[in-house]
Chain A
Amino acid sequence: MTSSTDHRRWTPNPWDIGFGVVTLAASLVALFFWFPHDIKGGFVEINLAGRLEPGDAFFPVLLTTTMVILSVVQLLSVALTRTQQEPDTTIGKLTPANLRFLLLFYSVVLAGLAVMYWLGPLTTALLRGLGIIDQSYRELLDTAPYKYLGYVGGGFVMTAGLITWAEGKVRPRAILTVVIVLFLSLLIFGILLKNIQLPPNADF
């Protein structure tokens, strides 16, 4: 059996270099392009009493200059210090597996949020089209069950989706937990706490 030490090599970590390069580049872009266009006040200004005082750009420029210096130090320290690194380590870097995870995670969460946003309005539009109700979703925002539709539907899709993905199977007990949590959330946020608006109702 080969020990992991045999695979180690003394090389600069490319992710440490990348970190320094990205922060250095972002700081320079902020200093020379972003701030001049997005901060109306100057670095220093002369007030009505004729005294020099800091403008709105004063502190952001100080901070960003500090970031430039620190980024250069980061790059120099990586260049001068040889880090003992295991080639197969996943610590200290983003792997393709991490990016795949983010993509999947966002897919499930955004699907849940889309259901949360649209379920209420679409249901009321459908019921209105069928002649069952007369009002729009906006007019029914304070009326049960319409005001809970999006939250319950979207919340279920999001939480049940994530649990099923994380566990690799559909477990009735997990689904039951989601239903209980949603019920308790409705009880607390929708009924007990009167001045709280559940998503998506504040957006309509």
Chain B
Amino acid sequence: MDLVLEYVVRGAHGVFFSAAGDFIWLPIAMVFIGVLLGIVIGAVPGLNGPFAMALSLPILISTFGVSNAALLPILGFLIGVMKGATVGGAVPAILFNTPGTPDAYLTTLDGYPMAKNGQAMKALKIAHFSSAAGDTFSDIVLFLTAPVLAVFIERILDLPEKSALIILSLSFMAAVSGSSAIKGLIVGVLGMLLALMGSTLSGNGPRMTFGIIALGNGLPVTSAVLGVLVISEVFMGIEQSARDRLSRVAALENPLSGDNSFGLKDIRAIMPRVCTSAVIGTIVGALPGIGTTLAATLGYESARRLSKHPQKFGTGVPEGVAATEAANSAVSGANLIPVLSLGIPGNFAAVFLILAVESVGDFTLGPSLFRFTEIKNVEGYGMIINKDLVTCFSIFTLMVLGNVFNWTIGSWFLRSLGVLARIPKSVMLPVVLLITFTAVYAQDGGFVAIWIVLVFGTVGYVLRKLNVSILPFVIGFILSPKLEELVRGAYSASGGDSFFMLKSPLALAFLMIAVAIMVLAGRRKPHRVP
């Protein structure tokens, strides 16, 4: 226990003090700015946390570099954005009945009627409290379960099992996140294949480049991911705006005429729903690929069923706002459980945290992260310590800081952002396009990055139009190098056995579950991808 505590203290110390013992403000300031920016971004219809994380990452890398010292400020900012955005999404939903994201639609069901009844401020306060509570609960679960899960995985999984686990995760994501599991898996494999362009592991020179010299170093990951995620969304949004000529949303006449107080009595009333939704959101968040929409739906539905007056839901019930916001915010912390324990991103926000970790410093995610190596000084060698574990506890500290900022300034800041929620998508999305171009150009240093963003944006647009989820594509793209390394290692270790993946009972079980998931998902009726 002392050893665990020592790692925790060293991790926290790393956020506030430099190696020389001087106080450093940068990581704290970056979390603070990140939270504020996240709330702002969340409050603008059509934008969300992963958008801001995607745009910030290249700029942060260009500004801070890729040394170990840059890792905590960059991660601090991204974590702050992730946390702030979960809170900010409620603003347009409550004030203007404009859900910026699919899960925020459920906030509009009771939030907007509350605003129409003159209780806009109360609805925002409830949304903030529930969102911050759900997020904090989810973080605590992350802190407690990720190390245990990682240690467990590290003990029982070898190369074939880890490979099979990634295949299982991708199959699960394909099954739950799109209209068709098979199509989802096909684009997941396609993403993996594209990620191999320009790479080599045998020293024979870059592969799959079509002879294009610019691809010799591989496709720039950030540009490719930004293209599929952000630019395809810009395509969709501008197309919709051009079609619908959506420009303005109607403002409420007097949103503050009713009872806008929020005290202990209100907290006691909503707390049972917040707790139930926080648990639901955390469970959903721990499973890769499901996302906030299902969490919000389940949270809202459970609150309605458990309520003594379910018929009032949809007419401006505080519990409705609380349940939705607690559930969708509880997803964000739990989503990092598979990231930290397996190195597998479960949603788009996690993708950008992984990209940051892979681009900056020598920190490595995955089961080996939580190896509690005994800390000792060896003469002539130096200190023996698991530096990655210390960094991991620094990341946990940054998350706690993010929660503190969210609880303290979040509510006040949130309530002052009503004006942002009136910025139309038709103005915001072209601006996002310009900032994306600027960001990737700054990171990759040339127009090639802009062409790659546009090509991948078109791929993302076509997939969305074909009702195929882009999540497996992005996750496949990110995980491909890791899976290749594991599969090659497993094959080599088996001595060239063609059935190397099927010899381990556990790996076989994972693969069979993956097949079963695909078969079961194949029987499901197709639905529209949100």
Contact = CB atoms under 8 A, between A and B. Distances in A.
A56 B186 contact: no
B176 interface: no
A87 interface: no
Contacts of B483: 59
Contact of A23 (B186, B454, B496): B186
Contacts of B211: 38
A92 B242 contact: no
Given A70-B186, A102-B461, A199-B441, A35 B208 contact: yes
Contacts of A181: 431, 434
A23 B445 contact: no
Given A19-B466, A91-B467, A202-B441, A63 B431 contact: no
Given A56-B200, A92-B467, A93-B465, A166 B238 contact: yes
Given A40-B205, A63-B189, A91-B467, A53 B182 contact: no
Contacts of A160: 430
A195 B59 CA distance: 10
B59 A101 contact: no
Contacts of A23: 186, 190
B208 A60 contact: yes
- Which of the listed residues A101, A160, A171, A174 has the most CB atoms from chain B within 10 Å of its own CB? A101
B512 interface: no
Interface string A165-204: 1111001001001100100010001000101111110110
Interface stretch (A3-11, A44-52, A120-128, A137-145): A44-52
Contacts of A109: 433, 454
B210 interface: yes
A60 B196 contact: yes
A178 B245 CA distance: 19
Given A38-B209, A51-B496, A198 B461 contact: no
Interface in A46-86: 51-60, 62-64, 66-67, 70-71, 73-74, 77, 83
Contact of B430 (A63, A98, A159, A193): A159
A167 B247 CA distance: 7
B239 interface: yes
A66 B458 contact: no
Contacts of A45: 202
Interface string B160-190: 0000000000000000000110110110011
B157 interface: no
B16 interface: no
B207 A60 contact: yes
Given A19-B466, A109-B433, A163-B426, A195 B189 contact: no
A105 interface: yes
A113 B450 contact: yes
Given A101-B242, A167-B241, A193 B62 contact: yes
Contact of A67 (B186, B239, B247, B466): B186
B200 A163 contact: no
A120 to B, nearest CB: 14
B207 A199 contact: no
Interface string A145-158: 00000010001001
B193 interface: yes
Contacts of B204: 39-41, 55-56
A94 interface: yes
A6 B435 CA distance: 47
Nearest to A173: B427
A15 interface: yes
Interface residues of B, number: 68
B447 A203 contact: yes
A163 B432 CA distance: 12
Contacts of A71: 186
B254 interface: no
B445 A54 contact: no
B487 interface: yes
Contacts of B363: none
Given A41-B204, A166-B241, A70 B189 contact: yes
A80 B526 CA distance: 15
A56 B465 CA distance: 34
B271 interface: no
Contact of B202 (A55, A66, A174): A55
Interface string B399-429: 0000000000000000000000001101101
A162 interface: yes
A34 interface: yes
Contact of A83 (B205, B437, B526): B526
B247 A197 contact: no
Interface in A83-125: 83, 91-94, 98, 101-102, 105-106, 109, 113, 117
A52 B492 CA distance: 7
B528 A91 contact: yes
B221 interface: no
- Which of the listed residues A91, A177, A185, A199 has the most CB atoms from chain B within 10 Å of its own CB? A199
A30 B210 CA distance: 11
- Which of the listed residues A59, A92, A102 has the most CB atoms from chain B within 10 Å of its own CB? A59
Contacts of A189: 59, 438, 442
A70 B185 contact: yes
Contacts of B447: 113, 117, 199-200, 203
A193 B429 CA distance: 23
Contact of B179 (A92, A102, A151): A92
A139 B282 CA distance: 56
Contacts of B437: 113, 199
Contact of B207 (A41, A67, A101, A163): A41
Contacts of A66: 189
A51 B495 contact: yes
24 contacts: A19-B186, A39-B208, A41-B202, A52-B492, A53-B491, A54-B488, A54-B492, A58-B487, A59-B484, A67-B190, A70-B182, A74-B180, A74-B186, A92-B466, A113-B447, A165-B238, A167-B247, A167-B424, A181-B434, A189-B438, A193-B63, A197-B441, A197-B442, A199-B441
Interface of B: 59, 62-63, 179-180, 182-183, 185-186, 189-190, 192-193, 196, 200-202, 204-205, 207-211, 235, 238-239, 241-242, 245, 247, 423-424, 426-427, 429-431, 433-435, 437-438, 441-442, 445-447, 450, 454, 458, 461-462, 465-468, 483-484, 487-488, 491-492, 495-496, 522, 526, 528
Question: 6 closest pairs, A vs B, by CB?
Answer: A52-B496, A162-B430, A166-B426, A40-B204, A166-B241, A92-B467
Given A51-B495, A200-B447, 5 more contacts: A15-B466, A51-B492, A62-B487, A158-B433, A197-B442
